[in-house]
Amino acid sequence: MQAPLWLMEPPWRRVPLDRLERTDSEHATRFLTMNIAHGRKLATHQALLSPGRLRANLQEIGEVLRRSEASVVALQEADGPSVWSGNFDHVETLARIGGHDHFYRGDHNPFGGTNLTSGTALLSEYGLRDIESQRFEVSWRDTKGFVVSAVEPRGWGGEVDVVSLHLEPFMPGQRRRQIHQLCEAVLPRRRPLVVLGDFNCSWSEESRRLRPLTDTLGLRPYQPYRKAPTYPAKRPWRRLDWILISPELDFVDYHTLPNPVSDHLGVVADIEPR
């Protein structure tokens, strides 16, 4: 008796970029999320790298974005011109290399003023509209947050809201309060929703704290209890990076990427209207 297909070839498998083919679905749009670690790649800290090395790292990340053919990209730990990461705009650089005409970066770092800007970002081949950026306000030292924008994928016949999200890594209670802030912000927008980002937790260990995402926003992940590890990039064993969708949408395909251009692996999903 033949084993089930998902046992032989898991749909989340890490697929080389040259084998990441477009789905046959007529209206599927490809979304990608990646924590880009301030451009440091696998180094200890971005402040220890030269501007030239940081630009080379961003070039590698941009090539991954370009070759993935993702139409909408969510980035976390994405820097504007900052003294600790080469004094150039990482998001604008990646948009240019990846071939995305539209981009937006939210600054969630309360400490650096104009000299230390970092946060989450969106890149898109579609226009970005009704954009909002929020730094989480759970504590005075919070450097996490999200950006949200309406986009209208080709052939979908309407807009969806896309969120690039970064949650607290160490304190589960703080993550839950951050999730409540996210829900309060996006619920009044009343569009179908795609939430992408670094959740800094697995689904099973956070079932109660992540419940507002399912109960309030109606979001669901792709096969939440299957292994699809994204961290650490060299030998991943934890699934920290997620793509969630609302009931109006369906997953067509879902993969993690093998390219260690950051300390997190990227995740791509082909999504279509239900």
Task: Tell me the pLDDT band of 226, cut-offs 50, 70 and 90.
Answer: confident
DSSP of 121-176, one letter per residue?
A: EEEESSPPEEEEEEE--SSTT---EEEEEEE--TTSSS-EEEEEEE--SS-HHHHH
Residue type, 32: L
Q: What is the CATH number of domain 5-273?
A: 3.60.10.10
Average pLDDT over residues 192-199: 98
Could you state, in order of their start, the residue ranges of all structural domains in the chain? 5-273
Mean pLDDT of all residues in the chain? 90
Q: What are phi and psi of 29, to 5 degrees?
A: -120, 140
Could you give the CA distance from residue 219 to residue 204 in angstroms, rounded to a whole number? 15
Look at 224 and 241; give whichever has higher pLDDT.
Answer: 241
Alpha carbon 11 to its chain's center: 19
Predicted confidence (pLDDT) per residue in 78-128, tens digit:
999 999 999 999 999 999 999 999 999 999 988 866 788 999 999 999 999
What local confidence, expressed as pLDDT, does residue 22 receive? 66
Q: Provide mean pLDDT across the span 8-18.
A: 55
Sign of CA dihedral 222, 224, 226, 227: positive
SS3 145: strand
